Amino acid sequence: MSIVKKPDWKANWYLIGIFSGLWFTLKTMVINIFNKDKMPTVNYPEEKYEYGPRFKGNHVLTVKKDGSVRCTACMLCATNCPANCITIAAAEHEDPTVEKYPISYEIDILRCVFCGFCEEACPVDAIRMGPEWQTPGLGHQDFHYDIQKLAYRANLKGGVLSRVDDEERHHAGI
Amino acid sequence: MAEVKIITEHYDKDEFISLEGYKKFDGYKMLKKAFKMSPQQIIDEVKSSGLRGRGGAGFPTGVKWGFLPDNGEERYLLCNADEGEPGTFKDRKMMERAPHQLIEGMIISAFAVNSHKGYIYIRGEYSYAAKVLEQAIKEAYDAGLLGKNILDSGFDFDLDIYRGAGAYICGEETGMISSLEGLKGQPKLKPPFPAIKGYLGKPTIVNNVETLASVIYILRDGVDGYRKYGTEKSAGTKLFSVSGNINKPGTYEVPLGYPLMDLINNECGGLKPGRKLKAVIPGGSSAPVLTAEECQKANMDYESLAQLGSMLGSGAVIIIDDSNCMVDMLNVIMHFYHHESCGQCTPCREGTGWLHKVVSSISSGTGRLQDIDLVDEVASRMMGRTICALSDAAAMPARAFIQKFRNEFEFYVREGRSKVKGVTDAQL
Amino acid sequence: MLNCKVNGKEIKVKQGTLVIDAIKQADYDVAHYCYHPGLSVAGVCRLCMVKIGDNPRLQIACNTPVQEGMEISNEDEQVKDAVKWGLDFHLINHPLDCPICDQAGECELQIQYMKFGQYDPEMAEKKVKKRKVVDLGSKIVLDTERCILCSRCVRFTDEVSKTNELGIFNRGDRSEVGTFEDKPLENDYALNTVDICPVGALTSKDFRFRQRVWYLKNQSTICTGCSTGCNVKVYYNEEGLFRVKPEFNEDINGYWMCDQGRDVYKFVNKDFRLLEAQSVTEGQAEPLSAGKAAQLAGEKLKELTKVNGPESVGVVVTGQYTNEEYESLFDYMVNKLKVKNIYHWVNNSDTMDDFDGLLLRGDKNPNTYGLKEIMKKYSIQTNMSDLEGAIKSNTIKTIVVAGPENQAVYPDFNERASLFSQASNLIWFSAGPVSAATSKHTLVIPTKTYAEKSGTYVNYKGTHQSSHKVTTIVRGALSLSDSVTLMSGESILTKPVGPQKAMKTNFFVNKSGEL
């Protein structure tokens, strides 16, 4: 909804505004040239801003000690997802202590609203939201993240190990 | 008052085991007398004698016999010789020393309740007793005391032995019936009670060895003679199996209502020198424990012990002196019930396991203070919630141990070691 | 009738009613696991505790019959405490692997914990470990750790299927449900144990891990697997049907259904369906929409009956359609086209009258009796064996087949199809693809399956049961009645029923002016 207002009569004196704006720019430029450290902006994309570790960026599927995905395909994240962007297909695992695992786990990152509900719903710490946020792609196909991308993308260096380990859980009798 | 030997009168004589020897001491005389009476007369006699079940529950035997429906169905008489209660060994002695006494008692009882088939369900571990009984039954068959037309009375009675496979729960009457039927030894849902629908769906009477043997002496001495001993509500004599830290452990026959301290000090020869009485379990491991003070006023009968919050049970008196740690004792008891729970009802199946785990974590030194209350809380929720009484049997000692010896538990949790062992080690 | 009070509410119950049923009748919730109305009473879960009158000892509601003037309370504090602890006892050794458990979402432990439990657990000790993922044959997977030993499945195999495979082994908290030496549980009713299992101890291999139950909707319908006509619930979502469960009907199936009936949903799903009509002329296949195909078929039939006479047309009907569809088809054929050669295609005449004593019948059509009724009504007496001769002697040149939707139960399907293909014109209504129909002029029109249409089925004892539409799987398919309407040249556009009301206008639509 846009409401069109009639321009104020003061706006006719726009040259003053322009020059005052230019003056601010010039002033800040000069200050920044002599005081580069305190500059609030970065030269993206050459320089990149690092967010804190709790930033809710792209999803990461954590892995177990043996490197397999921790996810048990309980689908609580998919159920909880307000954007309906998670699609999981479960299958029976050969190892009876694992029993169920996802054969496919896809996140449509373009639909994702980065609310973090999936992370909260997960009972086994299998999905986390990492600090990455730059997700360029050339087509729609680049924004369907599968297990390979979510758990083993290059910058994860073999995957993120979860704190909670099955063996320890088993030992504790949980 | 001292030991009164009625049932156990001839137990010291080896010849009493055989049929000839048994007959020498007036054996099978009462059977002849019984055949001259009518079944209803015998039931009335037993009813007015005030005989109560000696297996643990103390239910009046005559009343139980009266529950049988009069519908012409086949009836069964089962003898419960599955003596599994820790601390009890009176039935074993009776079967080993006087097998014919049991057989005679069973024939009389069968005649009274008009049953023509009886089984003795004997504990699996009692192999010697089973052998003795088998021999005795064979002798009785040969002498015409069992089988068709016993002693020309026109009454038929067949008797068999069935050996259990070592489950405590088969000592419960419906559990025993399940086991006899060839099923898993699990108690059945009541109602219907066994007297209405028991073994193979037929009316069934289940009695303890001692109860059945007592019937003989009720007939011999008459109601008044039998009531001479014991109290108004707990008539007659009873066998007590005394064990634990005592000089002369064994089976003693004393009249009901006999003071506990007399039993300990006179019959059993007192405690070992230098030891102080700490506690007594008066009726097998499922009876709540009595402290030394409570023991002073305890009489061995159903009412007096119920007043003290315990029970007479099967008459297994376990004497505990001050060299024993109550925490470790409870751990042993809980292990027993955890192992013996049949697993049918949830509160018992899970509760006994939970109690055992908590108590053993206390006795291994890793317990927490709130665990002590937890034991009491869990045990209180197990009581009265299950089909049979095993759950109560596990919960009652747990609650009594915690309530009466709380300081020992607290010490164990705080120090991670037994209060008693430290003391006794120093004394030794 | 007996009078009793449940939590102060007065109700009347039949003689012999159990307290647990009286509480349910009075619309109160009662916690329970082992009680199942179709099985004997076990009384082992000890959760349905009630207080009766002033009796301080709580009773279990499932083994207590109601007596005149009984005052039952299950909202007493003592009862609540007993139920809460009862649940705690059930849960202390439960593995809580809900994330990988198929039962999650319809698990009685979850439901009843939320209703009656909601306590802080106090169990700090190790849980008892038992066997997981035990393979019990081709249908069922057993997880003894999740089992709460309610013994429903054991009682089912003892009392209903009478096959006695299951038992409880060991004792105490080491108790486990299982079969002797893990022998498979392969009776015809085995999957009922999965239904009655209140937890995820027994799971169906067919449904295992395919969907979480909360993604599925359910609707009651009739099983079309055989002529028993069990009342069932189908579970479905937009992808298709996923499983079938029995629904209670005292007169027909009780609480149970057979395992074969549970596979009946499979042919409904898209993978096994004919998605659009096909016109094959001299080997040249051409896809077209079902409506178009039906109109085409109608025109063709009109023309053929005019040219060759109605005697040259043969109609073959199977017992897999609803009464309403038969009615419209017979009306069209007999009254409009004067075709009298209508044949009843029986799939398995040898095993037709088989019955296993519980539910399963040899007649694998849901509506054989409905078809017989309608044939009687139109006084048609034909014999399927005559058709062969008629085709061979070329007296019948055109065949219309209302084919089976469940082709798997027709062992002679391909054989018959090639016989029908000998006629020069073939119009085949089918839910699944018919590759064997290779006549000179073949028209295959996709039809709806039982889950996609409403209608009436008549079961073996003549009970008329109406089933309702569940969902739409194949959009292009038509029901037989709709096809017939189109064939007779009418439109199937539904007209609005009742007086026309002005459409409710949206407040924000057409609103002009300043905001």
Chain segment C61-118, per-residue pLDDT in tens: 999 999 999 999 989 999 999 999 999 999 999 998 899 999 999 999 999 999 998 8
Taking residues A71-97, report their average pLDDT: 93
Contact C100 A99 (CB under 8 A): yes
Q: Do C99 and A99 touch (CB under 8 A)?
A: no
Q: What would the mean pLDDT of B238-246 be, rounded to a whole number? A: 93
Q: B184 at the C interface (CB within 8 A)? A: yes
Question: Which class for A49: exposed (0-12), middle (13-18), buried (19 or more C-beta within 10 A)?
Answer: exposed
C319: nearest Cα among C263, C376, C370: C370
Does residue C174 belong to the interface with chain A, where contact is any CB pair within 8 Å? Answer: no
Listing from the earlier edge strand, what are the strands of the sheet with B76-81? B158-163, B117-122, B76-81, B204-208
Give A124's contacts in chain C (Cβ within 8 Å). 99
Nearest CA of chain C to the CA of A170: how many Å? Answer: 10
Domain layout of chain C by residue ranges: 2-91, 119-270, 273-487
Task: Categorize the per-residue pLDDT at C505 as very low, low, confident or very high, splitting at 50, 70 and 90.
Answer: low
B to C CB pairs, distance under 8 Å: 90
Is C513 a residue whose pLDDT tops 80? no
CATH 1.10.1060.10 fits C2-91, yes or no: no
Give residue C23's identity as a one-letter amino acid code: I
Residue-wise pLDDT tens digits, B141-153: 999 999 999 999 9
Distance CA C75, CA C81 (A): 10
User: Any chain A CB within 8 A of the CB of C515?
Assistant: yes
- The letter for the amino acid at B55 is G
Residues B114, C157: Cα–Cα separation, whole Å: 38
Element (H, E) at A107: strand A100-108
- Given a cut of 80, whether residue C514 has pLDDT beyond it is no
pLDDT digits 0-9 by tens, A93-139: 998 888 899 999 999 999 999 999 999 999 888 999 988 888 888 99
- pLDDT (tens digit, 9 = 90+) per residue, C328-341? 999 999 999 999 89
Q: What is the DSSP letter of B193?
A: P
Instruction: Tokens for B353, please give them.
Output: 């396991």
Mean of pLDDT values over B287-292? 94
Unique residue bearing structure tokens 């996923």: C242
Cα separation, B29 vs B22, in Å, equals: 10
* pLDDT at residue C515 is higher than 50: no
Per-residue pLDDT band for A169 (boundaries 50, 70, 90) equals low
pLDDT single digits (tens) B30-52: 999 999 999 999 999 999 999 99
The answer to whether residue C34 scores a pLDDT higher than 70 is yes
Residue A157 pLDDT class (50, 70, 90 cuts): confident
Residues of chain C contacting residue A86, judged by C-beta atoms under 8 Å apart: none
Mean pLDDT within B111-120: 94
Residue ranges covered by each domain of chain B: 14-227, 237-321, 326-427
Are A1 and C133 inside 8 Å of each other by CB?
no
**CB-based contact C171 B384, cutoff 8 Å:** no
Q: Decide: A and B in contact? Rule: 3+ Cβ pairs under 8 Å.
A: no
User: In this structure, is the dihedral angle defined by the CA atoms of residues B169, B171, B176 and B179, taken in order, positive or negative?
Assistant: positive
Give the span between the Cα atoms of C107 and C102, in whole angstroms. Answer: 9
Q: Which of B161, B160, B139 is nearest to B28 (CA)?
A: B139
**SS3 category, C298:** helix
| B204 touches C at CB < 8 Å | no
Q: Average the pLDDT over C33-55 and give the result.
A: 93
Asked if B167 lies within 8 A of C45 by C-beta distance, the reply is no
Q: Answer yes or no: do B189 and C41 touch at CB < 8 A.
A: yes
* Domain spanning B14-227, CATH architecture: 3-Layer(aba) Sandwich (3.40)
A74–C125: do the CB atoms touch at under 8 Å? no
Surface of A (95-134) touching C: CB under 8 A:
96-97, 99-100, 123-124
Which residues in chain C are closer than 8 Å to B351, comparing Cβ atoms? 89
Q: Which residue of C has its CA nearest to A125?
A: C99
Indicate the pLDDT class of residue A5, thresholds 50, 70 and 90. confident
Distance from C-alpha of C482 to C-alpha of C490, rounded to nearest angstrom: 10
CB contact under 8 A, C86 and B351: no
**B and C: touch, per 3+ CB pairs < 8 A?**
yes
pLDDT one-digit tens code per residue, C402-456: 999 999 899 999 999 999 999 989 999 999 998 888 888 999 999 999 999 999 9
Distance CA B320, CA B323 (A): 8
Bridge partners, residue C231, by sequence: C222
Give CA–CA dist C431/C463, Å, rounded.
Answer: 25
Sign of CA dihedral B44, B47, B49, B51: positive
Residue A65 — pLDDT band, cuts 50, 70, 90?
Answer: confident
Q: Count residue pairs from A and C with Cβ separation < 8 A.
A: 41
Query: Which of A170 and A17 is assigned the larger pLDDT?
Result: A17
Helix runs in C120-179, H state only: 152-159
**Residue B215: how many other CB atoms lie within 10 Å:** 27
Measured in degrees and rounded to the nearest 5, phi and psi for residue A154 equal -55, -40
The CATH T-level fold of domain B237-321 is Ubiquitin-like (UB roll) (3.10.20)
Q: Write down the ipTM of this complex.
A: 0.91
- Taken in order of first residue, the domains within chain A and their CATH numbers are 59-172 (3.30.70.3270)
Best of C91, C204, C212 to disrupt the A interface (most A CBs within 10 Å) is C212
Kindly indicate the confidence band of residue B427, based on its pLDDT and cuts at 50, 70 and 90: very low
Residues in Cβ contact with A36 at an 8 Å cutoff, skipping those fewer than 6 apart: none
Closest CA to C47 of C145, C168, C150, C155: C150
CATH 3.50.50.60 fits C119-270, yes or no: no
Alpha-carbon dihedral of residues B138, B143, B146, B149, nearest 10 degrees?
A: 150
Q: How confident is the model over B342-379, as pLDDT tens digits?
A: 999 999 999 999 999 999 999 988 889 999 999 999 99
Q: Cα dist. C411→B201, C305, C351, C370 in Å?
A: 49, 32, 12, 22
Most B CBs within 10 A among C40, C46, C51, C80, hence the mutation to make, goes to C46
Binding-site residues on chain C for chain B (CB distance < 8 A): 41-47, 49, 57-58, 63, 81-82, 85-86, 89-90, 92-93, 122-126, 128, 148-149, 167-168, 170-175
User: Rounded distance, CA A85 to CA C411, Å?
Assistant: 45
Alpha carbon distance B299, B6 (integer Å)? 20
Share of chain C above pLDDT 90, in %: 76
The CATH number of the structural domain formed by B326-427 is: 1.20.1440.230
Contact between chains at C93 and B352 (C-beta distance less than 8 A): no
Q: Check if C98 contacts A (Cβ < 8 Å).
A: yes
Neighbours of C70 (CB within 10 A): 19
Taking the model in full, what pTM does it have?
0.90
Over 50: is that where the pLDDT of C208 sits? Answer: yes
For the domain spanning C273-487, the CATH number is: 3.40.50.740
Nearest to B214 by CA among B223, B202, B205: B223
Q: What are phi and psi of B319, to 5 degrees?
A: -95, 130
* Closest by Cα among C291, C383, C305, C300 to C346: C383
